[in-house]
Amino acid sequence: MYPTAARHFLTAQDSYSTEVDDLLLQAAALTTQPKDPLQDVDVTPLFGRDNHVYGDEIRHAVFERLCAAWCYLADRNEPHSLRAIDLLDRRRAGILRRFRQLGSRLKAGLAHRHSARDLRLRQRIDETERLIKSSGVAQMSELFDAWEKMRIRATPPWNFDPDAFAGDSSLMEDCRFDLEQLAQLENRLMSLANPACELPLQGVRSDRSRLEAALQRVHGSSS
């Protein structure tokens, strides 16, 4: 029985596949945000509300976990050294996304901290942001994220009745913005001139042509 259970064990149910930075962020979140204050009361922040010294200790512990998560990503994965083509790897793209979000979160906390080590960390974050931006990876990441989150992926406008667009100017503006984002992403993928870009490029072009056709139908029905 044991060998059978071992062979069919679902590794997804174990915690070993969880990323180290995610574990640190989960620990930080559990310190300050209990899931249900009525059923799962976290007494630590509860006492910390009235005991200011203890509350400061809690906030410091949370902040240090966030710093540890950022340093782990920066030193272990070096997302700031990624190339635009690397973002075709969903895992690397996810690491970069978490790294940038964590950096922004830390900068907000560092704005009120002025020790030497806090200033060093702020300088490191600023430098990684500069590298990510100057390499063009930031723009590529944002375009990929926009494509993933676009309303057109979940509810394609080419399946809508054109009359639904007629009286909704904000919907039309959203579609035009989506179209502009798709055009930028298409140009960026083409500029990489890499065979690995062919599949996502086909998807972007398909969405763009369908969105253009949908807008043309809307204009046709309104004229």
Q: Is residue 145 part of a domain?
A: no
Give yes or no: residues 89 and 193 share one domain: no
Distance CA 106, CA 3 (A): 46
Q: Which domain holds residue 115?
A: 6-134
What contacts 127, CB < 8 A, 6 or more positions away?
80
Distance CA 191, CA 196 (A): 12
The Cβ of residue 46 has, within 10 Å, a number of other Cβ atoms equal to 12
What amino acid is encoded at 185 in this protein? L
Q: Is residue 70 part of a domain?
A: yes
Give yes or no: residues 118 and 218 share one domain: no
**Mean of the pLDDT values across residues 14-31?**
67
Q: Could you give the angle at the alpha carbon of 132 between the alpha carbons of 130 and 137, nearest 5°?
A: 145
Asked whether the predicted pLDDT for residue 55 surpasses 80, the reply is no
Distance CA 215, CA 114 (A): 52
Q: Give the per-residue pLDDT at 173.
A: 82
Give yes or no: residues 65 and 169 share one domain: no
Distance CA 83, CA 136 (A): 8
Q: Give the per-residue pLDDT at 120.
A: 96
Asked whether the predicted pLDDT for residue 223 surpasses 60, the reply is no
Give yes or no: residues 11 and 113 share one domain: yes
Last residue of a domain, one of 134, 163, 188: 134
pLDDT digits (tens, 9 = 90+) for 130-173: 999 999 999 999 999 988 887 655 555 556 566 666 566 777 78
Give yes or no: residues 26 and 78 share one domain: yes
Q: Give the per-residue pLDDT at 41.
A: 46
Helices (H), 51-168: 52-72, 90-110, 116-134, 137-149, 151-154, 163-166
User: Over the chain, what is the mean pLDDT?
Assistant: 80
Q: Is residue 46 part of a domain?
A: yes
Q: Give the per-residue pLDDT at 185.
A: 95
Asked whether the predicted pLDDT for residue 37 surpasses 50, the reply is no
Dmax (CA) for the chain in angstroms is 71
What contacts 182, CB < 8 A, 6 or more positions away?
147, 204, 207, 208, 211
Count up the domains in the chain and report the number: 2
Last residue of a domain, one of 66, 99, 134: 134
**Mean of the pLDDT values across residues 99-120?**
92
Both structure tokens of 149:
């989150």
Give the burial string for 93-118 (b: 16+ CB within 10 Å, else e). bebbbbbbebbebbeebbeeeeeeeb
The Cβ of residue 184 has, within 10 Å, a number of other Cβ atoms equal to 16
Both structure tokens of 68:
């540890």
Last residue of a domain, one of 86, 105, 134: 134
Q: Give the per-residue pLDDT at 140.
A: 95
pLDDT band at 61 (very low <50, low <70, confident <90, very high): confident
What amino acid is encoded at 136 in this protein? G
DSSP 80: G
More confident residue, 184 or 62: 184
Q: Give the per-residue pLDDT at 13.
A: 57
Asked whether the predicted pLDDT for residue 124 surpasses 80, the reply is yes
More confident residue, 215 or 114: 114
Classified as helix, coil or strand, 186 is: helix
Give yes or no: residues 130 and 170 share one domain: no
pLDDT digits (tens, 9 = 90+) for 162-209: 666 656 677 778 888 889 999 999 999 999 999 999 999 999 998 898
